[in-house]
């Protein structure tokens, strides 16, 4: 664990700080996961469009309803009340929609995730491409100092900054400064730490689109001589970002840094149905970080399965803040202090995953992996052999595939991922590989997987190392 000092420069994303984390074995490391039966986890990973379509329609209904009420009451003080509701949903609750669609788990249909992600990114003053890569790093190196770009409360905490953040006072100038810089192709050193060069042109294009929207809104306000356009697009964050922070700061604030166990650096709290709807079940944050491919509508069930392996969930949102406020106050004086979450006596600590190994069965190098019935349709299992690890897959039509087991983008095993069509989706970063040749199919994956030979004979699955690699 790294020594905590009262110098926030150690949180900067640069090569020096990143190298420290790498040397300490904290970067792209293996994290603990609670034991969940394989069949049960496969059920939890199933994606559906229905819940997210329903919730999104209700959510937009509230937004447009509050906007309509604001316009209808415009000119009277009564307009303030629906507008504040509009602002809180627009600038606060949109953060959870941004988050779930970024992971690609809210909807089963990919384009639905992409559309809502771009809309929500705009609503919460985030550039979609930048934050997609930022959040990818956050899941690789959660609260690892010098690696995680999303540590919300570095030590010692900036209390004034947190309070100003409730009204996006600092977010506005930083956001628009970045938009102008990115629109002309300028990428900061910090951003270069987690965004590949191949994405720079997309960063510029997204920034230009955001600037164009704000330009058109401003022109509309001038032409119609009305504040309404900028109140609805532009100023809601001034009045609604508080809700994002009330929810979001509960995730990691005041907890341990530089640990490889999400039970120690993340919070889960129980709450009412309204908060669950507005926050899209991200109050189950330990569960989300351990199993980020589980859709929001299945996370409560996941919580029930793993709660005995975790510290007790906080009883309410209020109970989180009763801990966070004094913790921040104390960290101003003692930056090394953090809340220590206590694991139950029965909790596991082993980061090893379920593995199976085989032996050479013939002179041609074919290795007996398992019985054919053990590898069901649309399933994947881990297979280790001679210090290397692999993933064996069965598609929807019974076809077999085999690849190297570790994602080329981050150190996580693909056997814990999800088969989508003829692709495997990384369980940590939502990137995808084509199973037929191992080629990248979706960002953040940029480097291909090696593929290998696999066959089924006499009811057994056999595997042979081939090390075939396509060009990226």
- Which tens digits make up the pLDDT trace of 373-399? 989 999 999 988 887 899 999 999 999
- Which tens digits make up the pLDDT trace of 165-196? 999 999 999 999 999 999 999 999 889 988 98
pLDDT at residue 404 greater than cutoff 70: yes
Distance in angstroms (rounded) separating the CA atoms of residues 316 and 319? 5
Q: Which two tokens stand for residue 207?
A: 């920034």
**95-104, 209-218, 429-438, range with the lowest pLDDT:** 429-438
Distance in angstroms (rounded) separating the CA atoms of residues 110 and 300? 23
- Which tens digits make up the pLDDT trace of 14-71? 889 999 999 999 998 889 999 999 889 989 999 999 999 999 999 999 999 999 999 9
Q: Where are the alpha helices (DSSP H) in 141-187?
A: 159-165, 171-183
pLDDT of 217 reads 97
Q: 84: helix, coil or strand?
A: helix
- Which tens digits make up the pLDDT trace of 90-129? 999 999 999 999 999 999 999 999 999 999 999 999 999 9
Range among 134-148, 312-326, 440-454 rated most confident: 312-326
> pLDDT above 90 covers what percent of the chain?
78
Q: 455: helix, coil or strand?
A: strand
Kind plus residue range of the DSSP H or E element containing 329: helix 317-333
**240-244, 363-367, 449-453, range with the lowest pLDDT:** 363-367
Distance in angstroms (rounded) separating the CA atoms of residues 357 and 354? 10
pLDDT class for 363, splitting at 50, 70, 90? confident
């Amino acid at each position: 664990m790294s020594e905590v000092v009262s110098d926030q420069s150690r949180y900067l994303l640069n090569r020096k700080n990143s190298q420290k984390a790498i040397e300490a074995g904290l970067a792209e490391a293996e994290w603990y996961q609670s034991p969940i039966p394989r069949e049960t986890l496969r059920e939890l990973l199933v994606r559906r469009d229905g819940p997210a379509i329903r919730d999104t329609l209700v959510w937009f209904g509230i937004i447009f309803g509050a906007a309509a009420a604001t316009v209808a009451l415009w000119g009277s003080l009564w307009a303030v009340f629906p507008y504040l509701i509009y602002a809180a949903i627009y600038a606060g609750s949109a953060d959870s929609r941004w988050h779930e669609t970024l992971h690609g788990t809210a909807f089963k249909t990919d384009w639905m995730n992409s559309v809502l992600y771009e809309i929500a990114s705009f609503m919460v003053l985030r550039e979609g491409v930048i934050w997609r890569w930022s959040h990818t790093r956050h899941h690789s190196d959660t609260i690892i100092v010098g690696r995680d770009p999303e540590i919300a409360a570095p030590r010692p905490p900036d209390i004034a900054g947190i309070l100003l953040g409730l009204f996006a006072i600092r977010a506005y100038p930083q956001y628009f400064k970045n938009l102008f810089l990115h629109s002309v192709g300028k990428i900061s050193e910090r951003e270069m730490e987690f965004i590949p060069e191949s994405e720079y042109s997309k960063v510029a294009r997204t920034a230009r689109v955001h600037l164009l929207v704000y330009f058109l809104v401003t022109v509309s306000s001038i032409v119609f001589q009305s504040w309404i356009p900028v109140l609805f697009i532009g100023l809601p964050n001034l009045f609604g970002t508080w809700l994002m922070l009330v929810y979001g700061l509960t995730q990691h604030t005041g907890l341990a840094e530089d640990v490889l166990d999400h039970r120690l650096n993340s919070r889960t709290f129980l709450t009412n149905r309204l908060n669950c709807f507005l926050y899209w079940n991200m109050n189950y944050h330990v569960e989300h970080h351990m199993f980020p491919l589980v859709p929001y509508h299945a996370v409560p069930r996941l919580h029930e399965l793993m709660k005995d392996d975790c510290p007790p969930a906080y009883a309410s949102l209020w109970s989180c803040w009763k801990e966070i406020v004094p913790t921040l106050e104390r960290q101003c004086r003692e930056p090394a202090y953090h809340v220590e979450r206590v694991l139950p006596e029965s909790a596991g600590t082993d980061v090893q995953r379920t593995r199976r190994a085989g032996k050479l069965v013939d002179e041609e190098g074919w290795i007996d992996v398992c019985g054919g019935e053990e590898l069901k349709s649309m399933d994947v299992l881990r297979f280790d052999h001679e210090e290397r690890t692999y993933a064996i897959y069965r598609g929807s039509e019974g076809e077999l595939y085999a690849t190297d087991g570790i994602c080329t983008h981050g150190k996580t095993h693909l056997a814990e991922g999800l088969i989508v069509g003829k692709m495997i989706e990384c369980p940590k970063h939502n990137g995808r590989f084509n199973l037929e040749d191992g080629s990248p199919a979706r960002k953040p994956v940029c480097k291909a997987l090696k593929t290998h030979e696999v066959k089924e004979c006499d009811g057994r699955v056999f595997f042979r190392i081939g090390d075939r690699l396509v060009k990226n």
